[in-house]
C-alpha cells in the first residue's frame, strides 16, 4: 500500500507529461535516468545508447540523464540473443517493457539500480559501427577527443560541463534582465579593424564590395559604447569574440564573453554589479563554495610586488619578500650595481621537493628570457650560499624546519617574474592549487599606458577607450607624466585566472581623439563613427566582460582547460580537427571574393586539401 501510494504521489507531482519536461515532445515515456521503485509495474518506452551488455541478457542503456538496466528474460534471450550478441556498443536502441523491482540484485552504484525493465519489445534504431575510433570505456588522448567530438560529447564529464554552462548563462540572463533591467542586444560580427589590442581575423567581402575586408570583432567594445550613446542605458550580450592569437589551455581563436555596459556609473558601480551577478547566478550544486561580496581588492602595484603577477592565485598564502641585504655580500654583488634578491618562504613544502623537481623548475624558467637565477633551500638539509648568515635569514623570515626557501636574484623585473612562476610551481607540490575553494579578487589601479619594450612606443595597457582616474586627467597633456597615469580599469581574478576585465570609458570626443592620435600615434579614420557618436552627447559609461569559457572551466574543475567546456573547440594550432578546418578555397569561391593565394604557401599546406575541387569551400 505504501509503495502504491508513493507511486501515485510521484505520478501526480513528478512525472513528465507529453507537453512538458525532458520527455515532452518525444516518443519516449521516460528517460534512462529517472525510473525508480515508484514506477514499478508501469509500461515504459525508453531510448538510449547501448553502454554495456552482460550474458546477452542484461543491457545497460545510457542517455543524457543517466543509465538503466533492461532484462531480456528467458523468452527474450531465445528470441533476440543473436541480435544482442552482435550488437555493437553505442548503437541506439528502443525498449518497451515493464518496470520491475530488482530485489536482492539491486545495484547501489546506479541511480536507477533498484529497478530494471522487463523487455517486451526491443528495436535497434541505429546500429553503430563495430569499430568506433573512440571508446567510452577508455580514456582517449586529446587529439582523438577533438577529432571525434560528437562521441566525446556523450561522456558524462562533457554532458555535465555543457549543462552547467547552460544553467549558468540562464541564471545570469535572469538576473540581468529581471532584477537589473538590462537589455540584451546582438551586435554585428562583420565589423572593421579596431586600433590597438589583439590581432583580428579578416573576412573578404564579395561584390559590390570586392577588394575590401571585414574584421571579426575582438569584442563588441565600440558597439556597446555606441549603445550607451543611443540611450539603451543598460546593455548585455552573450557575445562571440575573435582574436588571432592561436589556442592555449585558457584561450581559443573564438570565445564567448558575458559583455556588460551601463550609463551614468563609476568604477565602484560596475564592480558591485559584477559581484552581484556572480553571487546571484551561482550554481546551486556548488552552494558550499558560494562567494560573498564584496570581493577582496588588490592594487596592480601590490600584485606585482608581492605575487610577481597581476593575476595571483590567492589559495597560496606566500608573498614575495625582499632579501637583498641578506645575500648581496654572499653573491659578491657591488652596492652600486642594479641588483635585487627576493624570496618566498613556502611553508610545509620541503619534504615534497626533490632534485628532479628542482631541475624541472630550472628548465621551465629558462625557457623564458625573463627568467632570473634562483635557488631552493631547506633550513637544515642543504648547502646555502657561502658567506651568508643563514641563522639570521631563518630568524628574520620566520623559517621553520619543514619550509622551503626560494631565492631569486638579478634584475628586479626578472626576479619578480621568476618568483611569480615558482610560487605556483612550489604550491603544486603540496596541492594548494588543487583546493576546491573560490578566491575571487579585484585587481585595480592599473597604469593607463605601458611602453613597448621592442619599439619604445606607448601602448594602452587595456584598450584606448579606457579613461584615466579624474585626478590624472591633466597628465594626458604632459608627455613626461603619461606612464604615471592610473586607469579606471579593473580585472576580476579567480584562483590565478583572469576571468575578465572592464573599465570606465572616455566619453569626451576630443579627449578620445587626443589619446588615439597624439599619444598612441594611431589614425582616428577607423573610428570616425565612434568619435562622432561621442560628440553627439555621450553619457558617462563603463562596463565589463567576463570570460565565460574560463569561468565555467574553473567551476567545473576542468583543469582550467576551456576546451572541456566548449562543445566544438579548436586545437592549439587553431584547427577544427573534427571537420578539418580551415581549408583552401576552391577557384570558384576564391574568384567570388577576388582572392588569389600564393602557390608556394599552398604547396606547403600539410593538411592535404583538394585544391581543384570545391570540397574546401569556407
pLDDT tens-digit series, residues 371-430: 889 999 988 776 788 888 889 999 999 999 999 999 999 999 999 999 999 999 999 999
Q: What is the pLDDT of residue 610?
A: 42
Among 140, 499, 143, residue whose Cα is nearest residue 311? 499
SS3 state at 333: coil
Asked if residue 390 lies in contact with residue 375, where contact means CB atoms within 8 angstroms, the answer is no
User: Which helix (H) or strand (E) element contains residue 203?
Assistant: strand 202-204
Retrieve residue 571's grid coordinates. Answer: 586545437
CATH code, 37-126 = 2.40.50.140
Asked if residue 14 lies in contact with residue 22, where contact means CB atoms within 8 angstroms, the answer is no
Q: What is the pLDDT of residue 246?
A: 74
pLDDT tens digits along 252-290: 999 999 999 999 999 999 999 999 999 999 999 999 999
The Cα–Cα gap between 530 and 463 comes to 14
Q: What is the pLDDT of residue 10?
A: 39
Could you tell me the pLDDT band of residue 338, with boundaries at 50, 70 and 90? confident
Retrieve residue 541's grid coordinates. Answer: 559609461
Could you tell me the pLDDT band of residue 249, with boundaries at 50, 70 and 90? confident
The Cα–Cα gap between 534 and 531 comes to 5
Going by their DSSP bridges, the two strands 183-184 and 234-242 should be labelled as parallel
User: Is the pLDDT score of 607 beyond 50?
Assistant: no
User: Is the pLDDT score of 15 beyond 80?
Assistant: no
Helix then strand then coil, in percent of the chain rounded to 5, is 35, 25, 45
DSSP state of 314: T
Mean pLDDT across the stretch 532-543? 98
DSSP code per residue over 154-189? TSHHHHHHHHHHHHHHHHHHHIIIIIT--EE----S
Q: What is the pLDDT of residue 17?
A: 42
User: Is the pLDDT score of 336 beyond 70?
Assistant: no
Instruction: Kindly report which listed range (6-20, 77-91, 245-259, 379-393) carries the lowest average pLDDT score.
Output: 6-20
Please, what's the b/e burial string for 377-410 (b: 16 or more CB within 10 A of its CB; e: otherwise)? Answer: bbbeeeebbeebebeebbeeeebeeebbbbbbbb
Asked if residue 327 lies in contact with residue 341, where contact means CB atoms within 8 angstroms, the answer is yes
Q: What is the pLDDT of residue 330?
A: 85
Q: What is the pLDDT of residue 598?
A: 75
- When the pLDDT of each residue in the chain is averaged and rounded to a whole number, the result is 90
Could you tell me the pLDDT band of residue 453, with boundaries at 50, 70 and 90? confident
Asked if residue 535 lies in contact with residue 509, where contact means CB atoms within 8 angstroms, the answer is yes
User: Is the pLDDT score of 601 beyond 90?
Assistant: no
User: Is the pLDDT score of 109 beyond 90?
Assistant: yes
Retrieve residue 197's grid coordinates. Answer: 589590442
User: Is the pLDDT score of 613 beyond 60?
Assistant: no
Q: What is the pLDDT of residue 402?
A: 92
The Cα–Cα gap between 344 and 342 comes to 7
SS3 state at 143: helix
* CA distances for 308 relative to 140, 160, 338, 342, 427, angstroms: 37, 35, 18, 11, 14
* CA distances for 26 relative to 21, 23, 425, angstroms: 10, 6, 51
The DSSP bridge partners found for residue 409 are 341, 373
Mean pLDDT across the stretch 570-593? 91
The Cα–Cα gap between 323 and 321 comes to 6
Mean pLDDT across the stretch 238-261? 91
Q: Give the range with max mean pLDDT: 160-164, 523-527, 560-564.
A: 160-164
Matching residue, cell 580599469: 489
The Cα–Cα gap between 141 and 155 comes to 14
Going by their DSSP bridges, the two strands 115-126 and 66-71 should be labelled as parallel
The Cα–Cα gap between 422 and 420 comes to 6
Q: What is the pLDDT of residue 4?
A: 43
The Cα–Cα gap between 61 and 22 comes to 17
Matching residue, cell 547552460: 166
Retrieve residue 180's grid coordinates. Answer: 537589473
Going along 72-147, which residue ranges are E strands?
92-101, 115-126
**Percentage of the chain surpassing pLDDT 70?**
92
CATH code, 316-434 = 3.30.1360.30
CATH level 3 topology of 185-279+288-297+442-552: BirA Bifunctional Protein; domain 2 (3.30.930)
Mean pLDDT across the stretch 220-248? 94
Could you tell me the pLDDT band of residue 197, with boundaries at 50, 70 and 90? low
Q: Which residues contact 600 (CB under 8 A, 6 or more apart)?
A: none
Q: What is the pLDDT of residue 136?
A: 82
Mean pLDDT across the stretch 553-571? 89
User: Is the pLDDT score of 11 beyond 80?
Assistant: no
**Percentage of the chain surpassing pLDDT 90?**
78
Angle at 116 between CA 114 and CA 121, to 5 degrees: 170
Q: What is the pLDDT of residue 107?
A: 96
Q: What is the pLDDT of residue 20?
A: 60
Retrieve residue 499's grid coordinates. Answer: 576571468
Asked if residue 365 lies in contact with residue 422, where contact means CB atoms within 8 angstroms, the answer is yes
Asked if residue 564 lies in contact with residue 551, where contact means CB atoms within 8 angstroms, the answer is no
User: Is the pLDDT score of 19 beyond 50?
Assistant: no
Asked if residue 594 lies in contact with residue 204, where contact means CB atoms within 8 angstroms, the answer is yes
Q: What is the pLDDT of residue 369?
A: 80
Instruction: Kindly report which listed range (170-184, 369-383, 438-452, 573-587) carries the lowest average pLDDT score.
Output: 369-383
Structural domain boundaries in the chain:
37-126, 185-279+288-297+442-552, 316-434
Q: What is the pLDDT of residue 8?
A: 39
User: Is the pLDDT score of 335 beyond 80?
Assistant: no
Amino acid at each position: 500500500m505504501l509503495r502504491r501510494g508513493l507511486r501515485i504521489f510521484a505520478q501526480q507531482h513528478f512525472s513528465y507529461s507529453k507537453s512538458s519536461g525532458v520527455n515532452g515532445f518525444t516518443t519516449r515515456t521516460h528517460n534512462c535516468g529517472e525510473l525508480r521503485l515508484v514506477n514499478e509495474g508501469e509500461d515504459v518506452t525508453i531510448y538510449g545508447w547501448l553502454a554495456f551488455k552482460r550474458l546477452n541478457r542484461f543491457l545497460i542503456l545510457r542517455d543524457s540523464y543517466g543509465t538503466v538496466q533492461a532484462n531480456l528474460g528467458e523468452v527474450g534471450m531465445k528470441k533476440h540473443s543473436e541480435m544482442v550478441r552482435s550488437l555493437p556498443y553505442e548503437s541506439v536502441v528502443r525498449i518497451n517493457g515493464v518496470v520491475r523491482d530488482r530485489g536482492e540484485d539491486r545495484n547501489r552504484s546506479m541511480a536507477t539500480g533498484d529497478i530494471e525493465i522487463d523487455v517486451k519489445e526491443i528495436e535497434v534504431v541505429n546500429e553503430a559501427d563495430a569499430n568506433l575510433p573512440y571508446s567510452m570505456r577508455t580514456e582517449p588522448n586529446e587529439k582523438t577527443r577533438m577529432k571525434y567530438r560528437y562521441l566525446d560529447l556523450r561522456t558524462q564529464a562533457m554532458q555535465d560541463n555543457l549543462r552547467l554552462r547552460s544553467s549558468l548563462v540562464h541564471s545570469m540572463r535572469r538576473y540581468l534582465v529581471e532584477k537589473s533591467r538590462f537589455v540584451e542586444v546582438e551586435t554585428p560580427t562583420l565589423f572593421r579593424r579596431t586600433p590597438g589590442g589583439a590581432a583580428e581575423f579578416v573576412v573578404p567581402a564579395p561584390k559590390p564590395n570586392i577588394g575590401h575586408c571585414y574584421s571579426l570583432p575582438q569584442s563588441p567594445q565600440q558597439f556597446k559604447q555606441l549603445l550607451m550613446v543611443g540611450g539603451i542605458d543598460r546593455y548585455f550580450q552573450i557575445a562571440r569574440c575573435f582574436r588571432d592569437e592561436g589556442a592555449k589551455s585558457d584561450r581559443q581563436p573564438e570565445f564567448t564573453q558575458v559583455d556588460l555596459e551601463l550609463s551614468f556609473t563609476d568604477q565602484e558601480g560596475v564592480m558591485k554589479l559584477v559581484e552581484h551577478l556572480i553571487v546571484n547566478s551561482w550554481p546551486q550544486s556548488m552552494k558550499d563554495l558560494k562567494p560573498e561580496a564584496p570581493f577582496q581588492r588588490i592594487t596592480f602595484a601590490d600584485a606585482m610586488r608581492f605575487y610577481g603577477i597581476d593575476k595571483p592565485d590567492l589559495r597560496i598564502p606566500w608573498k614575495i619578500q625582499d632579501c637583498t641585504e641578506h645575500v648581496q655580500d654572499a653573491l659578491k654583488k657591488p652596492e652600486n650595481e642594479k641588483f635585487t634578491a627576493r624570496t618566498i618562504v613556502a611553508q610545509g613544502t620541503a619534504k615534497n621537493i626533490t632534485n628532479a623537481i628542482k631541475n624541472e623548475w630550472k628548465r621551465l624558467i629558462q625557457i623564458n628570457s625573463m627568467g632570473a637565477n634562483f635557488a631552493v633551500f631547506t633550513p637544515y638539509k642543504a648547502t646555502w650560499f657561502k658567506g651568508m648568515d643563514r641563522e639570521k635569514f631563518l630568524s628574520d623570515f620566520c623559517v621553520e624546519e619543514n619550509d622551503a626557501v626560494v631565492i631569486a636574484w638579478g634584475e628586479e623585473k626578472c626576479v619578480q617574474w621568476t618568483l611569480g612562476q615558482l610560487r605556483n610551481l612550489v604550491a603544486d607540490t603540496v596541492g594548494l592549487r588543487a583546493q576546491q575553494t573560490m578566491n575571487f579578487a579585484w585587481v585595480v589601479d592599473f597604469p593607463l599606458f605601458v611602453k613597448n619594450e621592442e619599439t619604445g612606443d606607448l601602448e594602452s595597457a587595456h584598450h584606448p577607450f579606457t579613461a584615466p582616474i579624474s585626478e590624472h586627467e591633466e597628465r594626458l597633456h604632459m608627455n613626461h607624466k603619461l606612464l604615471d597615469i592610473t586607469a579606471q580599469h579593473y580585472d576580476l581574478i579567480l584562483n590565478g585566472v583572469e576571468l575578465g576585465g572592464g573599465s570606465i570609458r572616455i566619453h569626451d570626443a576630443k579627449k578620445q581623439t587626443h589619446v588615439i592620435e597624439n599619444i598612441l600615434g594611431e589614425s582616428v579614420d577607423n573610428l570616425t563613427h565612434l568619435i562622432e557618436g561621442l560628440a553627439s552627447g555621450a553619457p558617462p559609461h563603463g562596463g565589463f566582460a567576463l570570460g565565460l569559457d574560463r569561468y565555467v572551466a574553473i567551476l567545473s574543475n576542468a583543469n582550467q582547460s576551456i576546451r572541456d567546456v566548449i562543445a566544438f573547440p579548436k586545437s592549439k594550432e587553431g584547427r577544427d580537427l573534427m571537420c578539418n578546418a580551415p581549408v583552401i578555397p576552391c577557384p570558384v569561391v576564391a574568384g567570388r571574393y577576388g582572392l588569389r593565394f600564393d602557390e608556394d604557401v599552398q604547396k606547403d599546406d600539410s593538411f592535404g586539401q583538394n585544391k581543384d575541387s570545391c570540397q574546401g569551400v569556407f
